[in-house]
Amino acid sequence: MHPRSKTVASLLLCFSPCFVPWPCCSQALEKPDAPTAKSDPSINDLKVISAQAPYQYITGKQRFEWAAIETFGPESLLVGTVSAGISTARDHPAEYGPHWDGFAKRYGMRLTGVATSNTLEAGLGALWGEDPRYVRNPLLPFKKRLGNVFRYSFMARNRNGQPMPAYARYIAIPGNNFLSNTWRVSSDATTAAALRRTGYGIAGEICSNAWNEFWPDLKRRFLNR
């Protein structure tokens, strides 16, 4: 072999490792995984959806589950206990009496009304594509989040995820209260009493939405969850 060719071959042999893609080099060049953003805990809630999550229309099964948890969930049962307790202490309506039997009747009466209202809202809403779930928006300033609470007390999302009047809720809350006049005791089966219960129902919707909006933040702050 020509001496010059030998020299070139020797140089190539010496420097050839520099051109080999060693595993350690390729691993060093790999970019680290980006940190995973914390998800909004309300995304997987049967009662609440996140304003930041891609909208997915509520299914028939989810409607049934929504109505069930709104009626028999721990929050609803606790509110029912407090409501029946206050009414028993006030002995209203008087026909039930201020005792445990009266408490049970008042609790059962409230539960049947809530079940009727939630069933009406979930069922009627399916006819025109009204989503009964609350839309939580934790990225808004505090005042705007309060506005969001009131907005989605009277609004809902349609099939495309756009805001619409909550027509099913407008029917369900007063409809249930007037319908229940047919099985309530006479002193509590008046038009005035039904209108009063309707007002309580609207106030309850607002309070429930406020809880859904702010409780996850309070839980993370004070309970570290």
Share of the chain above pLDDT 70, in %: 80
Q: What is the pTM of this model?
A: 0.77
Read off the pLDDT of residues 181-199 as tens digits, 9 standing for 90 and up: 999 999 999 999 999 999 9
The pLDDT of residue 219 is: 87
* Residue 136 bridge partners (DSSP): 50
pLDDT of residue 15: 42
Confidence (pLDDT) at 225: 63
Predicted confidence at residue 221, as pLDDT, reads: 82
Tokens of 169: 């809720």
Q: What is the mean pLDDT of the chain?
A: 85
Closest CA to 161 of 138, 130, 136: 130
pLDDT score at 66: 96
- Kindly state the average pLDDT of the residues 194-211: 96
Tens-digit pLDDT profile for residues 69-95: 999 999 999 999 999 999 999 999 999
Q: How many residues are recorded in the chain? A: 225
